[in-house]
């Protein structure tokens, strides 16, 4: 058996082993003296391990086996699970000697004495078994396993009935092996019948655990048969088999096995620790069992793959038992654990020495297993399974009656392994399909396959899938349920990986292939990886038995095969298809029973189409070689080609729909957002270029380089967009982008001229792209078709044109390329795609997308900084003021000091002073006063003063210097801040051109929908405005444009009208921007507006309105003049949206429309939202800010002009407002009169919408850039005030809402005109309503009567509760309230009113018979304004009412 | 109403300590003040006590954002009398509510100058409430409702009082009335 290896290697190996032997004996000697000498133990372990491994490598399996056993002994010793006693050491010594002699024999060239060796192995193993069990110290365990050990020991000699049967069977198998004849059939019948007998018996035995036990027995008996067969087949054959195994693989396997065995060992150890008695399965033991099972399973699988059938077979048996233990058994006891240990040991030994004759051991353990299984299942009596088994086996020859069916059944059972339930259908099917002859063949095959369980599985599932394909889907499902859950789990995991890989491959492909391109090596590779994944998946599914996955995998793989091997090109639609295919695969894998037949079918047909299409494409080039043919033919072919090209579209997208929807849901939202942002840019570019083209091309024009540049730019954008869409997975966009790009390619590369129609078609194409970007699932297919046909027509036209004049080859080639480029889905990608991409990348500047809110916050902060700085500046100013004062004081001090010095120091010289001095200063008499200074107190004081002054002076000087420095810093800071603020504002600024593409599209859409033709001209696209302005204005502008087209346009067939032309003009002046949207259409239909207005607002005297008033109507909510609602206009939410948006921006809108002369909207908007320029002016006492955009002009007026009610400005008489006369703006007592003269007054000409007015202000303060702030959380709607701004010194300046001021003014005027009776409220129209609350009906009557006489309306209430209700409902102007009333008295009513701010201002007069001052006080305290005692005088009441209502 | 420092020169001092206490309380208890039960009297948390007219009122600290001096009120037109206007509290615009006027306790003309504001905020509405004087922050204890409470005249204010409470000042128990700031905030909505 070593023949395959070079003898020199063996010799080398033997030498190596012999080198180890002395070490081993030395170690053993050491151990004899010191049992716990760990280094020696470790050394021994290492050596045995090396011997085991090396022997296995060189093929000396015997040696490897003994090495393995020894290693295990050492392991056990090291783990302390085996006590190292003298016996063991002797045994080890013996083993060492045997190895030595073995080496000698090998060296001498004699064949290895396998038997001799095996004996050693068996001995040692036995020893280990015994020791291990003994060390467990579990009586039950030793009781359970010892007899078996003995049994095993005696196994060679004692012929127990149990053992005979297999042996007999072995004979049979030997026969089968040698002559695969008819005999085999009968033998198999017998075998299977015996199996079935076992099954029946088992079923009788136990109904509860029937199926599992049945399986168990089936498998085990079958397995046993197969293994015994192998046992018989002899070591020679097996040795050959083992050596045939790739050594490298084997090594891998060994390593893996080691790990698993270790795990198994650990598991068993922990189980042994846990389970000392019969216990219920706890989750933790369950887990251990699970881990055990997994290891065994993996080991089994690996062994099967490598081809070590012994291990696979035993692993299988073992796993079965573990399965049962894990799933069915509810308890666990130590014998079971011991049995498990036995099983694991066997597995381990098999792993080390696959050829070792472990049959008996296996038998024994299986018997133990079965004993345990039955012991558990039969609950009470431990049925002697062994004997059952034995009897069953011995009865094999008696039972021959169940022939074909049973054998089939068992065969199927065997193959399906875990598929214990096999439906009747299968049987019958099987009956029909499999004839007896073929059965024999099957069996023969099966015989060959007995060893390898993996192959068994494969075969099984293939068999099974063969059945499945006969049309039994139901059965498939049942099948899937039957699949081992663990296997399924493995499969799922694997599937996931593969599907992930497939996905990434597809993404790569989609990224690479945005165009139809030839296959590059890298795409080939991706395809290959794709195919491999699909293939593996398919294989795995087939092995496991998930037929739907396998089937679809197969189809899919076919297509991939074709793609990989045959196809030379790839394009986006194929990728899309692939993606669908992989999606389907993923879905089936997840839920194999889901109904996918339809989709499968669809995809298959598409695959076929592409495959055939690919073939046809190559052919379709041919006709293009003959452009000389008649134009008609040419065109026809073109058309057909186009049809071929385009007719894929509906089908693809049809099938796409579901998938796309699924896919688009799956798309990462973040990705999607990125994509949208990117798309927006590209779409803008496309639109800009198209517009430019549209402007410049008025007739058929040659394509200049410039225009080609534009086309190129468009193409690049479309291309990038398409690519991005494909990457993200929005197939709709990718698909359309592709078609569109094809056309653009043609246009750029082939076309020689361009005319407006082409541009129009491109615009429509771009529109579809935009719509798709907005809503990928939107139904645009019809439009797509339309535009595609347009493209085709254009191309064929152009081709026709160019084909006629040019017959030479050059042109022929052009045409050919044209055809192939467009019709074959595949454009010569390389050169056209890569170059633009690079170019666009190099063009890009570094940008960063930032959430606008963050910028807003920063803008706000910079605004606050400006405010803070200016307040700091203020305090700096104050400080320098103080400094100046200090300086003056210092000067004064200096003066005083010098005069003191001059005047008094001199005077204090003694001889000039009194004589007393001379007496005092006797000491100094020796000196002349001029010789020596003498100091008096005053002198000293003066000196110190002058010192202090000079100190102060120097400090002041220093301070002045510092101050200058500070001022400079502040100045610099303010400059920087200003700059910062401007930059921050600038960050928010975007040009009008961001909107222009949308506007163009809107107009085009409106054109399409209404049939009116229109042209949009945008002037001032570069005007920058705050992003928010554009955001808010976008919708209104679209409304205006749609309206302009819908209302202002006319159908082109109406003769004599120019096409509608709409002009948008943006002009920026200072801090405000004017947007003018004008058209030359029909203008406002004033009569229609009037009719509609009369219907909608019957009270507003619409019939008398002037045109301009009518024009204002369209801004009202819910106004729409068109009778019918279309997509374009007529929903009644048009112009009010415009108005709202402009209000929101603190802007203004004006509508000018001469009848029949078109319309013009003039919108004035602040450039920046956060900051707006405003004029500060004093109205009444207070200063207010008026936004610049509301101001038209500021004028000084003469006092006469100021007095009138109107002012003439620009030749127009406009109302003159004096806000001081508007309540709320009154001039207070102080400031104005004291400080201001009439000369300070100025007239502000303001405009609110169309209205203009002159507003008189007391003082103009100046213009400032103000930061808009709202009024806080409490005050939301303060009339006339839109917000406040904070000045540098922290003071607040309200910002005036000019329009509301004008309204207020007009109500003031009205009130003044209409007299005092109607003054009370701005909203008031009708007569006063007066609530009379009294419980006496007569009082109510009397009061109501005189109220009615006054022309007012009386409302009566009987008590307080009613009164409150009436007050709520009617909001009366005055309340006359009785005090004593049922349910709720007058005071309570008063209190309730006071609690509600909106009701508090209603004047209340008490009408009561209680005249006592106490009552009156209380009423006043509660807010009553009048107190009248009954009987009251009518005059008094009326006077009260007049007084209260005319006040304010 | 600019710089005025007279009898309330210690106001700044007081405000500072109050602010400090607020922050301490917030630190200690978070926003919702911890309410522990006492043997006899139930603690109802810290309150800011203030005078309004001749009443001693208290508002729970949880409603209070800050207290401060009243300055730089900018009146606005077309607002009810009791909305004094808006003021700028560190860049934030806050309305100023004169609850004395709101409750009709005093007339505009006779109200004292130099009053303090308590900025209250319930998550939705924030307003600065003008009070006559802020006296202290105190831990208040619930006072059992005894029927013998002086039946004062019914005013609008009565509807905004949610009971009375006591605090310990030395040996004495002082009584304050609990002012329902939440109700105020919801009723002053414009």
Chain B environment of A1396 (Cβ under 8 Å): 187
Ramachandran region of residue A1066, left (φ > 0), alpha (ψ -120 to 50) or beta?
A: beta
Between CA A759 and CA A271 the distance in angstroms is: 80
Q: Which residue has the tokens 């103080």?
A: A882
Looking at residue A329, its pLDDT comes to 66
Between CA B71 and CA A1291 the distance in angstroms is: 10
Looking at residue A1076, its pLDDT comes to 87
**A637 prior amide bond cis, ω within 30:** no
Distance from CA of B92 to the nearest CA of A (A): 7
Looking at residue A257, its pLDDT comes to 73
Q: Which residue has the tokens 């009968």?
A: A186
Q: Which residue of B has its CA nearest to A1290?
A: B88
Kindly tell me if the per-residue pLDDT of A1 is higher than 80: no
Nearest to A57 by CA among A302, A234, A298, A245: A245
DSSP summary character for residue A903: I
Q: Report the SS3 class of residue A1428.
A: strand
* Residues above pLDDT 90, as percent of chain A: 0
DSSP summary character for residue A1278: B
Contacts 24+ apart (CB under 8 A), A509-513: A509/A570, A509/A575, A509/A578, A510/A572, A510/A575, A510/A579, A510/A723, A510/A726, A510/A727, A510/A729, A510/A734, A511/A723, A511/A726, A511/A727, A513/A570, A513/A571, A513/A572, A513/A574, A513/A575, A513/A726
Lowest-pLDDT range, A1004-1018, A1189-1203, B19-33?
A: B19-33
Chain A environment of B83 (Cβ under 8 Å): 1274-1275
- Is B104 in Cβ contact with A1394 (below 8 Å)? yes
**How many Cα neighbours within 13 Å face the side chain of A258?**
12
Mean pLDDT of A211-234: 42
Looking at residue B35, its pLDDT comes to 46
Q: Are strands A1329-1333 and A1292-1296 parallel, antiparallel or unpaired?
A: unpaired
B116 DSSP β-pair partners:
B69, B131
Copy the structure tokens of residue A24.
């081993």
Q: Which residue has the tokens 């509405």?
A: B125
Residues with Cβ < 8 Å from A1005, sequence gap 6 or more? A767, A1128
Mean pLDDT of A598-603: 72
Low pLDDT (below 70) residues in chain B: 1-10, 24-41, 106-114, 144-156, 190
Best B107, B156, B183 member to test A by mutation, with max A CBs in 10 Å, is B156
Chain B environment of A1280 (Cβ under 8 Å): 77-78
Looking at residue A82, its pLDDT comes to 65
Mean pLDDT of A479-483: 47
Is the model more confident about A245 or about A867?
A: A867
Chain A CB within 8 Å of residue B62 CB: no
Lowest-pLDDT range, A304-318, A668-682, A795-809, A988-1002?
A: A795-809
Q: Which of A1182, A1274, A1280 sits opposite B78 (nearest CB)?
A: A1280
Q: Which residue of A has its CA nearest to B122?
A: A1273
Chain B environment of A1394 (Cβ under 8 Å): 103-104, 155-156
Is the model more confident about A112 or about A422?
A: A112
Mean pLDDT of A580-595: 70
Between CA A504 and CA A590 the distance in angstroms is: 19
Is the model more confident about A540 or about A1373?
A: A1373
For the CA atoms of A795, A798, A800, A802, the dihedral, rounded to the nearest 10 degrees, stands at: -140
Cβ–Cβ under 8 Å, residues A1134 and A1122: no
Buried b (16+ CB within 10 A) or exposed e, A657-673: eebbeebbeeeeeeebe
Looking at residue A433, its pLDDT comes to 41
- Is A1391 in Cβ contact with B88 (below 8 Å)? no
Q: Which of A1273, A1387, A1397 sits opposite B154 (nearest CB)?
A: A1387
Chain A CB within 8 Å of residue B23 CB: no
Nearest to A503 by CA among A526, A536, A480: A526
Cβ–Cβ under 8 Å, residues A393 and A194: yes
Distance from CA of B125 to the nearest CA of A (A): 5
Quick one: which H or E segment has residue A944?
helix A937-988
Cβ–Cβ under 8 Å, residues A621 and A824: yes
Please report the DSSP string for A343-363 in residue order. Answer: HHHHHHHHHH-TTS--HHHHH
B96 DSSP β-pair partners:
B85, B128
Q: Which pLDDT tens digit goes with each residue over A47-68?
A: 777 777 777 766 777 777 777 7
Cβ–Cβ under 8 Å, residues B184 and B118: no
Looking at residue A354, its pLDDT comes to 61
- Is A1274 in Cβ contact with B189 (below 8 Å)? yes
- Is B156 in Cβ contact with A1274 (below 8 Å)? no
Looking at residue A946, its pLDDT comes to 87
In angstroms, the first-to-last Cα distance of chain B is 25
Q: Are strands A331-332 and A1060-1069 parallel, antiparallel or unpaired?
A: unpaired
Is the model more confident about A845 or about B135?
A: B135
Chain A CB within 8 Å of residue B158 CB: yes
Is the model more confident about A678 or about B136?
A: B136
Beta strand residue intervals within A1071-1168, DSSP E:
1072-1079, 1148-1152, 1160-1166
Is the model more confident about A1063 or about A336?
A: A1063
Q: What is each CA distance from A446 to A433, A452, A456, A1282, in whole angstroms?
A: 17, 10, 8, 91
For chain B, give the number of residues: 190
Kindly tell me if the per-residue pLDDT of A753 is higher than 70: yes
Looking at residue A540, its pLDDT comes to 72
Q: Of A145-159, A402-416, A659-673, A784-798, give the range with the top mean pLDDT.
A: A784-798
Chain B environment of A1225 (Cβ under 8 Å): 77
Distance from CA of B67 to the nearest CA of A (A): 18
- Is A1423 in Cβ contact with B156 (below 8 Å)? yes
Copy the structure tokens of residue A1274.
């409490």
Q: Which of A864, A1281, A1397 sits opposite B188 (nearest CB)?
A: A1397
Looking at residue A1226, its pLDDT comes to 62
Chain B environment of A867 (Cβ under 8 Å): 91
Between CA A9 and CA A1235 the distance in angstroms is: 119
Q: Which residue of B has its CA nearest to A867?
A: B91
Looking at residue A1058, its pLDDT comes to 65
Q: Which of B80, B124, B156 sits opposite A1273 (nearest CB)?
A: B124
Mean pLDDT of A1236-1242: 75
Is the model more confident about B68 or about A7?
A: B68
Mean pLDDT of A1049-1064: 65
Q: Which pLDDT tens digit goes with each residue over A1065-1112?
A: 888 876 678 888 888 877 777 777 777 777 777 766 667 777 777 777
- Is A1291 in Cβ contact with B88 (below 8 Å)? yes
Between CA A1387 and CA A876 the distance in angstroms is: 58
Rg, C-alpha atoms of chain A: 52
Distance from CA of A1373 to the nearest CA of B (A): 17
Burial zone of A1323 (CB within 10 Å; 0-12 exposed, 13-18 middle, 19+ buried): exposed
Distance from CA of B1 to the nearest CA of A (A): 12
- Is B75 in Cβ contact with A1272 (below 8 Å)? no
Cβ–Cβ under 8 Å, residues A226 and A450: yes
| 64-93 in chain B: CB under 8 A from chain A | 72, 74-80, 82-83, 86-88, 91-93
Looking at residue A559, its pLDDT comes to 76
Helix axes A161-178, A210-233, angle to 10 degrees: 60
Kindly tell me if the per-residue pLDDT of A306 is higher than 60: yes
Mean pLDDT, all residues of chain A:
67
Lowest-pLDDT range, A261-270, A835-844, A1384-1393, B144-153?
A: A835-844
- Is B102 in Cβ contact with A1391 (below 8 Å)? no
Rg, C-alpha atoms of chain B: 16
Chain A environment of B94 (Cβ under 8 Å): 1272, 1274
Is the model more confident about A1293 or about A634?
A: A1293
Chain A environment of B3 (Cβ under 8 Å): none
Copy the structure tokens of residue A735.
């698909």
- Is B93 in Cβ contact with A1421 (below 8 Å)? no
Q: What angle do CA A38, A43, A48 make, to 5 degrees?
A: 125
Distance from CA of A1292 to the nearest CA of B (A): 6
Looking at residue A1231, its pLDDT comes to 59
Q: Which residue of B has its CA nearest to A1300?
A: B78
Q: Which pLDDT tens digit goes with each residue over A559-579?
A: 777 777 776 666 777 777 777
Best B54, B75, B87, B93 member to test A by mutation, with max A CBs in 10 Å, is B93
Neighbours of A258 (CB within 10 A): 16
Q: Which pLDDT tens digit goes with each residue over A117-148?
A: 556 556 666 665 555 444 444 333 333 334 43
- Is B77 in Cβ contact with A1279 (below 8 Å)? yes
Kindly tell me if the per-residue pLDDT of A215 is higher than 50: no
What sign results for the dihedral spanned by CA atoms A786, A787, A793, A797?
positive
Q: Which of A1222, A1225, A1270 sits opposite B93 (nearest CB)?
A: A1270
Q: How confident is the model at residue A175 (pLDDT cuts 50, 70, 90)?
A: very low
Looking at residue A167, its pLDDT comes to 46
Q: What is each CA distance from A1004 to A90, A1030, A1063, in whole angstroms?
A: 101, 20, 14
Q: How confident is the model at residue A926 (pLDDT cuts 50, 70, 90)?
A: low
**CB pairs below 8 Å between A and B: how many?**
113
Looking at residue A657, its pLDDT comes to 40
Mean pLDDT of A79-100: 73
Residues with Cβ < 8 Å from A1370, sequence gap 6 or more? A1329, A1331, A1355
Neighbours of A91 (CB within 10 A): 19
Q: Which residue of A has its CA nearest to B190?
A: A1275
Chain A CB within 8 Å of residue B30 CB: no
């Amino acid at each position: 058996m070593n023949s395959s290896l070079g003898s020199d290697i063996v010799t080398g190996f033997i030498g190596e082993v012999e080198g180890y032997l002395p070490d081993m004996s030395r170690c053993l000697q050491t151990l004899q003296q010191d049992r716990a000498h760990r280094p020696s133990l470790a050394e021994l372990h290492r050596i045995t391990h090396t011997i085991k491994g090396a022997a296995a490598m060189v093929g000396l399996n015997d040696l490897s086996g003994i090495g393995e056993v020894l290693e295990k002994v050492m392991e056990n010793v090291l783990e302390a699970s085996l006590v190292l006693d003298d016996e063991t050491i002797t045994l080890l010594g013996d083993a060492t000697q045997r190895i030595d002699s073995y080496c000698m024999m090998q060296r001498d060239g004699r064949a290895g004495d396998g038997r001799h060796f095996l004996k050693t192995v068996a001995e040692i193993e036995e020893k280990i078994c015994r020791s291990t069990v003994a060390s467990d110290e579990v009586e039950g365990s030793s009781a359970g396993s010892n007899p078996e050990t003995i049994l095993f020991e005696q196994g060679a000699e004692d012929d127990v009935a149990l053992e005979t049967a297999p042996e007999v069977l072995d004979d049979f198998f030997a026969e089968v092996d040698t002559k695969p004849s008819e005999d085999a059939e009968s033998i198999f019948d017998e075998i299977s019948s015996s199996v079935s007998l076992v099954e029946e018996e088992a079923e009788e035995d136990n109904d509860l655990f029937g199926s599992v036990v049945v399986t168990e027995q089936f498998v085990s008996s079958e397995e046993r048969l197969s293994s015994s067969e192998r046992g018989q087949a002899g070591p020679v054959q097996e040795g050959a088999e083992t050596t045939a195994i790739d050594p490298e693989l084997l090594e891998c396997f060994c390593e893996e096995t080691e790990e698993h065995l270790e795990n198994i060992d650990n598991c068993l150890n922990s189980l042994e620790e846990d389970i000392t008695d019969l216990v219920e399965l706890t989750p933790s033991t369950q887990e251990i069992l699970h881990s055990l099972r997994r290891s065994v399973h993996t080991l089994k699988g690996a062994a099967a793959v490598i081809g070590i059938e012994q291990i696979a077979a035993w692993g299988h048996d073992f796993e079965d038992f573990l399965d049962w233990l894990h799933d069915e058994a509810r308890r666990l006891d130590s014998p079971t654990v011991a049995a498990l240990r036995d099983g694991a040991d066997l597995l381990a030994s098999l792993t080390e020495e696959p050829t070792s004759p472990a049959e008996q051991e296996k038998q024994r353990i299986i018997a133990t297993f079965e004993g345990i299984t039955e012991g558990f299942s039969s609950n009470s009596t431990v049925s002697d399974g062994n004997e059952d088994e034995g009897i069953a086996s011995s009865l094999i020859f008696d039972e021959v009656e169940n022939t074909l069916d049973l054998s089939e059944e068992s065969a199927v059972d065997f193959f399906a392994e875990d598929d214990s339930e096999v439906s009747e259908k299968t049987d019958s099917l099987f009956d029909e399909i499999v004839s007896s002859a073929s059965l024999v063949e099957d069996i023969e095959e099966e015989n060959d396959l007995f060893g390898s369980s993996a192959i068994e599985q494969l075969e099984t599932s293939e068999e099974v899938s063969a059945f499945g394909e006969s049309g039994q889907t139901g059965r498939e499902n049942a099948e899937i349920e039957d699949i081992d859950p663990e296997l399924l789990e493995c499969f799922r995991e694997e599937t996931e990986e593969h599907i992930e890989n497939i996905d990434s491959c597809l993404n790569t492909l989609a990224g690479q292939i945005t165009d139809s391109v030839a296959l590059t090596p890298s795409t080939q590779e991706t395809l290959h990886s794709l195919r491999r994944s699909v293939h593996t998946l398919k294989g795995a599914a087939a092995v496991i038995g998930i037929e739907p996955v396998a089937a679809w995998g197969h189809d899919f793989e076919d297509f991939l095969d074709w793609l990989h091997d045959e196809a030379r090109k790839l394009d986006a639609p194929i990728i899309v298809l692939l993606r669908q295919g992989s999606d389907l695969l993923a879905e089936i894998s997840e839920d194999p029973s889901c109904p996918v037949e339809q989709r499968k079918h669809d995809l298959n047909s598409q695959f076929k189409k592409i495959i055939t299409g690919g073939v046809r494409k190559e052919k379709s080039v041919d006709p293009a070689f003959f452009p000389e043919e008649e134009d008609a033919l040419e065109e026809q072919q073109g058309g057909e080609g186009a049809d071929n090209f385009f007719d894929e579209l509906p089908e693809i997208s049809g099938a796409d729909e579901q998938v796309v929807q699924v896919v688009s849901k799956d798309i990462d939202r973040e990705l999607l957002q990125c994509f949208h942002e990117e798309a927006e840019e590209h779409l803008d570019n496309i639109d800009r270029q198209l517009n430019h083209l549209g402007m410049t091309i008025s007739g058929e024009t040659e394509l200049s380089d410039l225009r080609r540049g534009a086309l190129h730019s468009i193409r690049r954008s479309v291309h990038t967009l398409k690519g991005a869409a494909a990457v993200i997975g929005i197939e709709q966009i990718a698909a359309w982008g592709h078609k569109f790009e094809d056309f653009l390619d043609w246009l750029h590369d082939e076309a020689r001229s361009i005319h407006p129609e082409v541009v129009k078609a491109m615009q429509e194409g771009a529109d579809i792209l935009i719509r798709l970007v907005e809503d990928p699932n939107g139904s645009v297919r019809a439009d797509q078709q339309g535009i595609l046909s347009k493209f085709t027509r254009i191309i064929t036209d152009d081709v026709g044109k160019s084909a006629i004049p040019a017959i030479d080859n050059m042109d022929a080639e052009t045409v050919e390329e044209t055809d192939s480029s467009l019709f074959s889905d595949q454009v010569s990608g390389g050169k056209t795609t890569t170059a633009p991409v690079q170019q666009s990348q190099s063009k890009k500047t570094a940008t960063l997308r930032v959430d606008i809110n963050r910028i807003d916050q920063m803008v706000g902060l910079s605004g606050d900084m400006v405010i803070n700085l200016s307040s700091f500046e203020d305090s700096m100013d104050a400080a320098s003021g103080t400094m100046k004062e200090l300086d003056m004081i210092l000067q004064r001090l200096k003066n005083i000091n010098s005069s003191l010095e001059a005047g008094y120091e001199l005077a204090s010289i003694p001889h000039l002073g009194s004589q007393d001095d001379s007496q005092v200063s006797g000491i100094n008499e020796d000196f002349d006063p001029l010789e020596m200074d003498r100091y008096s107190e005053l002198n000293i004081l003066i000196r110190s003063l002058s010192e202090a002054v000079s100190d102060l002076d120097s400090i002041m000087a220093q301070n002045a210097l510092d101050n200058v420095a500070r001022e400079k810093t502040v100045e610099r800071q303010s400059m920087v801040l200003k700059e910062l603020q401007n930059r921050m504002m600038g960050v928010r600024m975007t040009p009008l051109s961001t909107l222009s593409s949308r506007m163009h599209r809107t107009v085009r859409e409106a054109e399409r929908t209404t049939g009116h033709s229109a042209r949009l001209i945008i002037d001032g696209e570069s005007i920058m405005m705050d992003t928010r302005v554009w955001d808010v204005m976008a919708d209104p502008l679209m409304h205006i444009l749609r309206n302009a087209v819908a209302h202002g346009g006319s159908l082109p067939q109406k003769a004599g009208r120019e096409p509608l032309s709409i002009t948008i003009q943006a002009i920026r002046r200072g801090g405000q921007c004017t947007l003018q949207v004008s058209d030359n259409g029909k203008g406002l239909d004033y009569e229609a507006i009037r009719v509609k207005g009369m219907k909608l607002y019957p009270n507003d005297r619409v019939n008398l309105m002037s045109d301009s008033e009518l024009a204002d109507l369209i801004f009202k909510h819910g106004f729409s003049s068109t009778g019918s609602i279309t997509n374009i206009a007529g929903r009644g939410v048009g112009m009010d949206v415009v108005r709202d948006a402009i209000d929101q921006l603190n802007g203004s809108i004006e509508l000018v429309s001469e009848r029949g002369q078109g319309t013009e909207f003039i919108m004035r908007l602040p450039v920046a939202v956060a900051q707006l320029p405003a004029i500060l002016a004093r109205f009444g006492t207070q200063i207010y800010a008026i936004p610049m955009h509301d101001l038209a002009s500021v004028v000084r007026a003469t006092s006469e002009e100021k007095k009138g009610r109107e002012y003439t400005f620009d030749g127009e008489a406009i109302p003159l407002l004096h806000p001081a006369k508007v309540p709320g703006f009154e001039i207070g007592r102080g400031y104005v009169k004291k400080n201001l003269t009439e000369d300070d007054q100025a007239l502000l000409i303001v405009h609110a919408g169309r209205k203009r007015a002159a507003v008189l202000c007391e003082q103009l303060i100046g213009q400032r850039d103000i930061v808009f702030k709202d009024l806080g959380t409490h005050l939301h709607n303060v009339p006339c005030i839109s917000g406040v701004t904070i000045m540098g010194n922290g003071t607040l300046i309200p910002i005036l809402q000019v329009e509301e001021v004008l309204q207020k003014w007009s109500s003031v005027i009205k009130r003044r005109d209409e007299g005092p009776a109607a003054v009370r409220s701005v909203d008031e129209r009708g007569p006063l309503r007066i609530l009379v609350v009294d419980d006496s009906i007569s009082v109510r009557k009397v009061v109501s009567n005189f109220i009615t006489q006054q022309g007012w309306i009386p409302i009566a209430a009987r008590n307080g509760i009613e009164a409150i209700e009436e007050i709520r409902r009617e909001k009366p102007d005055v309340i006359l309230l009785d005090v004593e009333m049922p349910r709720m008295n007058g005071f309570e009513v008063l209190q309730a009113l006071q609690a509600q701010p909106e009701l508090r201002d209603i004047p209340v007069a008490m009408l009561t018979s209680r005249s006592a001052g106490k009552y009156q006080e209380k009423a006043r305290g509660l807010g009553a304004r009048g107190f009248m005692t009954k009987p009251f005088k009518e005059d008094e009441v009326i006077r009260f009412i007049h007084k209260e209502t005319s006040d304010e | 109403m600019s710089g005025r420092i007279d009898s309330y020169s210690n106001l700044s001092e007081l405000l500072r300590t109050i602010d400090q206490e607020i922050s301490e309380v917030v630190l200690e208890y978070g926003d919702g003040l911890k309410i522990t039960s006492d043997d006899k009297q139930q603690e109802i948390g810290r309150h800011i006590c203030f005078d309004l007219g001749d009443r001693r009122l208290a508002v729970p600290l949880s409603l209070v954002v800050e207290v401060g001096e009243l300055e730089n009120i900018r009146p606005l037109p077309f607002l009810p009398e009791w909305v004094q206007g808006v003021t700028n509290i560190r860049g934030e615009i806050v309305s100023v509510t004169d609850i004395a006027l709101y409750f009709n306790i005093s007339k505009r003309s006779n109200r004292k100058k130099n009053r303090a504001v308590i900025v209250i905020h319930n998550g939705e509405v924030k307003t600065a409430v003008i009070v006559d004087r802020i006296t202290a922050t105190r831990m208040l204890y619930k006072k059992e409702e005894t029927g013998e409470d002086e039946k004062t005249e019914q005013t609008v204010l009565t509807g905004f009082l949610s009971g009375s409470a006591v605090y310990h000042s030395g040996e004495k128990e002082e009584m304050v009335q609990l002012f329902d700031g939440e109700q105020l905030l919801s009723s002053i909505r414009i």
